[in-house]
Amino acid sequence: MSETPEPGTGVDRRKLLGRTAAAGLLAVPGVGLLSGCLGSNDDDGGDQAEGEKTAANPLGVKEDAELEVVIFNGGLGTKYATDVHIPSYKKSFPKANVKFSQAEEISTVVQPRFAGGNPPDMVNNAGSKLMDMGALVAEGQAADLTDLFEAEALGGGGKVKDTLLPGTIEQGTFNGKPYVLQYAYTVFGLWYDSELFKKNNWAPAKTWADFTALLDKMKAQGITPYAYAGANAAYYQYLVILTSAAKIGGADVLKNIDNLEPNAWKSDAVKQAATAWAEIGAKYMNKANLGQKHTEVQLQQNQSKVGFYPSGSWLENEQAKETPPTFKYAVMPVPSVTGSDKLPNTAIYAAAGEMYFASAKGKNPRGGMEYLRHMLSKEGARGFTELTKVATVVKGAADGLTISPGFTSAQELTKAAGDNAFSFRWDSWYKKLDDECRAATNELMFNGGTADKFCDRMQKVADEVKNDSSIQKFKR
């Protein structure tokens, strides 16, 4: 992505999906999270558009009310919005003008509007410079999406909530209420060129010994065995480190981190994972990648200069223009670190990601939620996948699609993982932790950091967040 979400930030993408130290809505004692006057919309919402609720209009959208939509222009592009979702909305509400814009730095463009009291109605909060979602929720800027999930799905099939993959609503829930639609079902792993592997008779590695042996073979051929971009994509790598930790110690390792449990970052599983990956950084990476952006490093992989690249399933679409026809994307799970990992090699980090939300204090919050309902129709979800090569959280929407090698590989990874798919949420809940983990990860991987220093550094900031009464806490 232009600056991807990992998703989930998280992203995502980009939670996954992507976050940044340069942008955010930090909680400061005695000061509103968005600081500054919230403007005329900071009232009871009496001037907000609202129509009559009917079977065809279950959310009560005013049929001629303008809807403003802002989409992050990254690895997923924006055609899914302009070519699929907006036309779908317009079909239902032909009298409504849909005002569309895109941004590569969401916080730079949109954050001042929330502070000024004139936010867009629906925002795709993604990219490296996304807004602090936990702060938005705490400030009352994100609309409660309960009515959306309880509404009849567009096109039938029951309530919206019944058409979604398990865990979707929970992924966007803050202290019991859903405020965010995590829409893209993103699969994370180690991406490679299957044609390069065929040419060299290489096979995806399952064990750590096989993994390092394969990296040695790549190194011998002058290929940088493993790479990520330190300038803006450190979250790709910390996601991989914590994937290894979850495999070693079980998914509760990540739940404990989410819940700010005592010494969660100092668990044996996290230390073992950090130790293993620090060795990869010391032996198999190019230090020049520290100052490069993700698109620069991804291009190097397309040019057969990089072996493995950690990322989410948006990668193939993001690199479509740069990928030569001889390059075929494939993805493998993060290899098992020990012979006694609690989760199998096939276990993966995979979850709903790419955040979308309706503005509670916008002019048309009902329209914002209705737009999300159109995204969650089978037609809307299928169109998204066809244009982005990324699956959605809508059950069965991608059935029968054979879009590309990378998409197929990611689908196979998901099937093989079965119930052994996991995720974490601390990075979207606590931006301060996300910022620190990016820096700590770069130190570990590029600057000779140690596992103990990584764990101590992260635990110190986790404790600061836990003890800071101005930061709203979340739990799962």
Higher pLDDT, 114 or 351: 114
Q: Per the structure block, which two tokens stand in for 94?
A: 């032909």
Q: What average pLDDT does the structure give for the chain?
A: 89
Burial 342-376 (b: 16+ CB within 10 A, else e): ebebbbbbbbbbbbbbbbbbbbbbbbbbbbbbbbb
Whether pLDDT at 131 is above 80:
yes
- Fold (CATH) for 67-186+350-421: D-Maltodextrin-Binding Protein; domain 2 (3.40.190)
Query: d(Cα 53, Cα 191) in Å, to the nearest integer?
Result: 47
Q: What is the DSSP string of 348-406?
A: EEEEEEEEEEEBTTSS-HHHHHHHHHHHTSHHHHHHHHHHHS--BSBTTTTTT----HH
- Confidence at residue 49, expressed as pLDDT on a 0 to 100 scale: 84
- The alpha-helical segments, DSSP class H, found in 180-267 are 194-200, 208-220, 234-249, 252-258
pLDDT tens, position by position, 14-68:
333 333 222 233 232 222 334 332 333 344 445 898 889 999 999 999 999 999 9
**Residues 346-365, mean pLDDT to the nearest whole number:** 94
**Architecture of 189-348 per CATH?**
3-Layer(aba) Sandwich (3.40)
The confidence band for 244, taking pLDDT boundaries of 50, 70 and 90, is very high
Under a CB-based contact definition with an 8 Å cutoff, are residues 71 and 368 in contact? no
- Confidence at residue 459, expressed as pLDDT on a 0 to 100 scale: 98
- Confidence at residue 47, expressed as pLDDT on a 0 to 100 scale: 81
Percent of the chain with pLDDT over 90: 78
- Confidence at residue 46, expressed as pLDDT on a 0 to 100 scale: 56
pLDDT tens, position by position, 391-409:
999 998 988 888 899 999 9
- Confidence at residue 418, expressed as pLDDT on a 0 to 100 scale: 87
353 forms beta bridges with 184
pLDDT tens, position by position, 166-209:
889 988 999 899 999 999 998 999 999 999 999 999 999 999 99
| Residue 161 phi, psi (nearest 5) | -60, -25
Query: d(Cα 289, Cα 283) in Å, to the nearest integer?
Result: 14
**Residues 154-176, mean pLDDT to the nearest whole number:** 91
Domain ranges of the chain: 67-186+350-421, 189-348
Q: Same fold for the domain at 67-186+350-421 and the one at 189-348?
A: yes
Query: Residue 173 contacts by C-beta under 8 Å, 6 or more apart in sequence?
Result: 179
pLDDT tens, position by position, 411-462:
899 889 988 999 999 998 898 999 999 999 999 999 999 999 999 999 999 9
Q: Helix, strand or coil for residue 39? A: coil
**Residues 145-165, mean pLDDT to the nearest whole number:** 95
| End-to-end C-alpha distance for the chain, whole angstroms | 29
**Residues 225-242, mean pLDDT to the nearest whole number:** 97
- Confidence at residue 33, expressed as pLDDT on a 0 to 100 scale: 39
- Confidence at residue 272, expressed as pLDDT on a 0 to 100 scale: 98
Within 10 angstroms of residue 52's Cβ, the number of other Cβ atoms is 9
Query: d(Cα 420, Cα 343) in Å, to the nearest integer?
Result: 7
- Confidence at residue 397, expressed as pLDDT on a 0 to 100 scale: 93
pLDDT tens, position by position, 277-317:
999 999 999 999 999 999 999 999 999 999 999 999 989 98
